[in-house]
Chain A
Amino acid sequence: MNTAEQITPTVEPSEPLPWAEICARYPDQYVCLLDVVPVERWSPAIATGRVAGHGPTRLDASALVREDVRITRWSVVYTGEPTKPLRRPPVFFE
């Protein structure tokens, strides 16, 4: 085992889970998903995914995955119902 392998944290994602099961296990938080299968090609709706992290913020959920250089593709999704209204950045910059 080389040095890089020794310091790389090991991400142990779950088995593929249906989206409803992910929401039930990790309610109202962010989940970091690998191997996402959409309900339809190019759809943002998730059929299944492997949970590799979870937490109250996007960065908490993906903390381990971001440390693992072997993983280069993932999604972070919120499992609850958003409660705040949409806001847009103001268009005027200086």
Chain B
Amino acid sequence: MKISRPFIRLGELLLVHAEIRGPRATMTARLVFDTGAAATTLVPEFIEALGYSARDGGQPKRMHSALSEEEGYTLEVAELSVLGVMTPNFEIHVFDLDRQGFDGLLGMNFLRHFNFEVRPAEQRICVELISGDWKPVTDGG
């Protein structure tokens, strides 16, 4: 089954609509469709508003890059709906992206479960499920 969803552009970035459920709230998010990101990532303020805290995640972990070392952590959100599919208990990374305009990155730990096609002229992304415990959604994501 193929699903098609609209995106908007923020500069050269593609933003898609997502809905994320936590213990306190369900929040809509703007996520960057990011095939260059290994992990789906949300900023700490977004996670806090959902009702999570760093104590809900694993031990704080140091993330190394060539230039720096910063702390982040991982946790499972109760439900993630994006690009027309919903998955429960999805692991995301929590990291301060230090940028306005979006709430996080939709990375390859999500996208690898789909064939996908970006259609810039139509401003739509088409996805086709190839693996995983995913359900199509009719509302939200």
Q: Among B25, B36, B48, point to the contact of A59 (Cβ < 8 A).
A: B48
Judging by beta carbons under 8 Å apart, are B72 and A66 in contact?
no
**A18 sits at the interface (CB 8 A):** no
A48 to nearest B CB, angstroms?
Answer: 14
Tell whether, in the assembled complex, residue B39 and residue A89 are in contact, meaning their CB atoms are under 8 Å apart: yes
- Whether A44 contacts B99 by the Cβ 8 Å rule is no
CB neighbours of B141 from chain A (8 A): 42
CB distance from B75 to the nearest CB of A (A): 13
Size category, B interface: 35 or more
User: Is the pair B62, A93 in contact by a Cβ cutoff of 8 Å?
Assistant: yes
Contact across chains for A38 and B30 when beta carbons are under 8 A apart: no
**In the complex, are the beta carbons of A91 and B13 less than 8 A apart?**
no
Give the size range of A's interface with the partner: 35 or more
Q: Is B131 an interface residue (CB 8 A)?
A: no
For A90, list chain B residues within 8 Å (CB): 63-65, 68, 70
Find out whether the CB atom of A44 lies under 8 angstroms from the CB atom of B7. yes
A76 within 8 A of B: yes
A74 touches B (CB below 8 Å): yes
Between A and B, 10 residue pairs with Cβ closer than 8 Å are: A42-B6, A43-B7, A66-B25, A76-B46, A86-B32, A87-B97, A87-B98, A88-B37, A88-B97, A90-B63
Q: Which residues of A contact B (CB under 8 A)?
A: 30, 36, 38, 40, 42-45, 57-59, 62, 66, 71-78, 80-94
